[in-house]
Structures are given as C-alpha cells and as structure tokens.
Amino acid sequence: MARALIHVPATAKKGDIVEIKTLISHVMETGYRIGVTGQPIPRDIIDDFVCTYNGEEVFHAKLYPAIAANPYITFFTVATESGTLAFSWTDQHGATQVQTAAITVE
Amino acid sequence: MRGAVLRAAGLRMRAPSPERGEGWGEGAPTERPEPPRSEWNASGCRRSSGALKRTPSLQRGEGWGEGVPTERPEPPHPALSPLGRGRRKHYPAAAVFIISTLLVRGTLAADIPLDQRRSDSDFISGDTRAMQNDDTANPAMLVVLDGETLWNTKAGETNQSCADCHGDAAKSMKGVAARYPAFAAELGRPVDLEQQINLSRVTDQKAEALAFESKELLALTAYIARQSRGMPVAVKDDAVSKPFIDAGRTIFERRQGQLDLSCAQCHDDNWGKKLAGNLVPQAMSTGYPIYRLEWQEVGSLQRRLRNCMSGMRAEPYDFGAPELVDLEYFLMWRARGMAMESPAVRP
C-alpha cells in the first residue's frame, strides 16, 4: 500500500519511557476541495491508527479530514518486555496496512 | 500622495495598455529604447542602471506601466519608466519616503555579504526545522525512498536502471546536486538536476523523459539531492557559465508583474522582515526539492519560483524555461559554499 517510516529504539531498559515515531505516505484528501474541472475531489483519508505491543493495544487514534497529508504520529510507551510493536493504518475503505518493529528490553 | 507612496513602495498595480501593444499573454516582444536615468530612478530604484536596462517581455505579461506623458518635455515616453506617471508632482512625498527608507534600511542595492548569508532554515519555526532535520519526521524522506526504488528500476529500450551505470548513489551521486545547474555541452546551455536526469533517461536509457513535477522525477531528484546533504554548494562559474548566471541575476533584479517587484527587493533588501506574518528569507536555494507544508507534498525549485512570480502578479515562466534555469543557476551561485539541506521542509 503506502510507504511508511517507523522509528522504535532497538533496545531499552525495562521500565524506560520510549518514543515511537510513525510516518506514512497518504494524500489525506479532505473531500472539501474542488478540482480543476469544478467537480469535488472525493474524500480519501486514513481514519484509524492502532499500535499494539506484543498484542496489547498501547495507542489508538481516530483520524479526520483535518489531519494533513502524510500523517506523522508520535507517542510514548513504557518498555515492559522484548517483543514486537505492530502498527496498523486503516483507510476509510477498510484497507489496512500493518508494519512491525522489534524492541529488545534488557 | 498615497499613489506616490504606493508606487515608491512598488505596490502600485498597473494594467497593460493595448495601445502600446502590451498585454498579458499575447503579442510579440518589441524592442524599446533604453530609458534615461532620472533623479527618482537613481535614488528610488535599487541598482537603477540594471533595473532600467530590461526590456519587458510581452509574452510574460510584463510592461512598463500605463504612463501618460505629463510635464516632461523630452522623450522618451514615460511609459518606459518603471515608475509610471506623475512622478514630479509627487516628488517631495516620494523623496521623504525614500529618505526614510534609507534611514531605516541603511544602504540599498548590494548583494548580501557572503558572511551574512543564512540558510532559509533560519527563518522557519523551530518545529519545522526539527521536522526537517529528523529523517523519521521529514515527510520528504518518503519521497526519497520512492526515489531509491526508481534508481534501481530498469527503464527504457536499454532496460537499464540508473544503478546499472552509476552504481551506489550514496557514492556516485555524493555532491552532484550541489553542482547543479551545470552547463550541458550537448545543449549549449545549462540544465538543472531535473533536466539532467531526463537527459540521462533519454540519451542513455533510451526512455521517455519524465514530466516536470511528476512524482517520479521529484522522487529521483530528491533521492539524488539527499546524497549531497551537508556538502557545500559548488556550481561552476567559469567563462562558459557566467553569461547564464548573469542572465539569472538580471531576472532576479528585474521588477516585474503588476506589483512591480523584483526578487531582490524582498530577498536582498528586506530579508528578516515580515511578509504577511512570515519572515522573508534570503532565498538561498540549498534545500530543493522541498517538502512544503502548504503544498502538503514535495516540489521543485522551479515550482517555488513560479509560485513567487504568481505572488508578484507576473505571468510565470513555463516549467523548463531557460529563464527559470538561469534564475536557478544564479540562486545556487549566490548560495555558493553554503551547506546543502535537501530535502528541506518549509512552511
């Protein structure tokens, strides 16, 4: 689907607060704009973003047309155990893109 | 009085006069005699001789304004003056304005001294700068990754990719973007990085040229420019290139459009001041292609230049026009030695 950039620290100490950064390529067309032909440009947005940490949901966001193109979402979580962070973006048509990143907790 | 001040500030709008063959899009350029220097022009316009040497291009919708011959016994026609009619009547008010401007600004009409040049990043908010400098936050990096894919994609009749000849871009393209625009012997004139990519595609890969501002061309340009980040701008200014740099300077310093402004009036004379709430940068083109938040996408220097021209109510040159490349060349020469920042983020 789209190109995404994820930044998760490769290693962390147990109990550390770690910053997660995600960036995904998407037009985030609001549906309120008019094209050159005078026709409205149909709305096309990502409307849901979830991050799970070893299966447990740690961050969830609902996106609306006011979010700019190429949504950049950054948040913090507590490093509890080694494992996988899974990120999933779902657009308004229901298509989902999932990407994962590993983290080692010492 | 008000009109004179507006004119002096370069903010007086003018309409083209069909009687003199001026128009916004039609008509052929005509030769006009060079207007004389007047006392007003000598003090009111920066680089008065340079500013007056220009010939307006009717194709680009430029004109000298709708002058009416008043109180001037001698030719040439006041239409040839960039300042339009009725100058003498308002002379005292204008003189006050100019003197006050000089007092505030100090001396006009000079290039920015080399040691006072600053990156355009200095004129944006800290948040935007942080976004630019963090590869995981800079949205242009998504486009750079697209460019990396294209670099390794085979194309054209030869079925070769860029990488097949140039290898690893991190090595072969290091510093290349800092040397463009550059003179292309086969064309007899300079080309910018986008045009050089297309030259390689057409002559070497035997592929079709990519359209200006197409996603593919911007991606390849951004990917190549990324390899020069931090390196000093080093465009050539040898005898072959100098005339094109000078042509770019002429455009940079020429007043144009309905607002009768030159690039230099903002970016040489008034950088650091505010225009509609934003700081006016020095226009050091070290970060192109840029991700512009207003555009919500990546765009080229040519797009940005066209944008500024529309802002001056001038008809922009077409993408790929030699004038735009000359202007790009001058801007890069002006930023010589400064560090490349591509792909930059701008508001």
**Which residues of chain A make contact with B136, given a CB cutoff of 8 A?**
5-7, 21, 23
Quick one: B101 and B116 in the same domain? Answer: no
Between B211 and B104, the higher pLDDT residue:
B211
**A23–chain B nearest CA distance, Å:** 7
Same domain? B136 vs B89: no
Question: What confidence score (pLDDT) does residue B41 get?
Answer: 41
DSSP B203: I
For residue B273, count CB atoms less than 10 angstroms from its CB and return exposed for 0-12, middle for 13-18, buried for 19 or more: exposed
Pair B166, B73 in one domain? no
- Pick B324 or B15 by higher pLDDT: B324
Query: In this structure, what CATH number is given to the domain that contains residue A82?
Result: 2.60.40.10
- Predicted ipTM of the assembly: 0.90
Cβ distance of A23 and B297 shorter than 8 Å: no
Asked if pLDDT for residue B61 goes beyond 50, the answer is no
Stronger pLDDT, A69 or B32, i.e. the higher one = A69
CA B3 to CA B17: how far, in whole Å? 19
**Final residue of a domain: which of B105, B134, B158?**
B105
* A7–chain B Cβ distance below 8 A for any pair: yes
The phi, psi pair for B345, rounded to 5°, reads: -115, 130
A9-21 as b/e: b if 16+ CB within 10 A:
eeebeeeeebebe
Identify the domain boundary among B75, B105, B135: B105
Burial of B18 (0-12, 13-18, 19+ CB in 10 A): exposed
Show the tokens assigned to B92.
């005292």
Condensed to tens digits (0 to 9), the pLDDT of residues B232-291 reads: 999 999 999 999 999 999 999 999 999 999 999 999 999 999 998 889 999 999 999 999
Shared domain for B248 and B179, answered yes or no, is yes
pLDDT value of position B273: 95
Residues B127 and B59 in one domain: no
- Interval B11-21 mean pLDDT: 40
Are the Cβ atoms of B141 and A69 closer than 8 angstroms? Answer: no
Q: State the CATH number of the domain containing residue B276.
A: 1.10.760.10
- The pLDDT score that the predictor gives to residue B34 is 46
| pLDDT reading at B14 higher than 70 | no
Element (H or E) spanning B164, and its range?
A: helix B162-166
The confidence score (pLDDT) of residue B166 equals 96
Indicate the residue of A5, A27, A74 with minimum beta-carbon distance to B141.
A5
CB contact under 8 A, A69 and B146: no
pLDDT score of B323 more than 50? yes
Q: Report the amino acid identity of residue B23.
A: G
**B339 and B205 in a common domain:** yes
Per the structure, the complete domain to which residue B10 belongs is given by: 2-105
Whole-angstrom Cα distance, residue B122 to residue B126?
9
The upper half-sphere exposure of residue A67, i.e. CA atoms within 13 Å in the direction of its Cβ, equals 22
Q: Do B140 and B82 fall within a single domain?
A: no
Nearest C-alpha neighbor of B331 from the set B253, B274, B276, B278 = B253
How many domains would you assign to chain B? 2
Residue A92 belongs to domain spanning: 4-105
Condensed to tens digits (0 to 9), the pLDDT of residues A12-58 reads 999 999 999 999 999 999 999 999 999 999 999 999 999 999 999 99
Considering B72, B105, B138, which residue would you say is the last residue of a domain? B105
- Mean pLDDT of all residues in chain B? 79
Contact residues, chain A, for B132 at CB < 8 Å:
none
pLDDT at B110: 80
- In total, how many domains does chain A have? 1
Which residues of B fall within a CB distance of 8 Å from A28?
296
Q: Rounded to whole angstroms, how far apart are CA atoms B284 and B290?
A: 12
pLDDT at position B18:
41
Model confidence pLDDT, tens digit, residues B75-105: 444 333 433 333 444 455 555 444 444 444 4
B101 and B165 fall within a common domain = no
Consecutive H or E run containing B275: strand B274-275
With vertex at residue B278, the alpha carbon angle to CA B274 and CA B284, rounded to the nearest 5 degrees, is 90
- So what's the pLDDT on residue B38? 40
DSSP state of B129: H
Domain shared by B58 and B150, yes or no: no
CA distance B139 to chain A (A): 7
* Same-domain status, B15 and B42: yes
For residue B79, the model assigns a pLDDT of 39
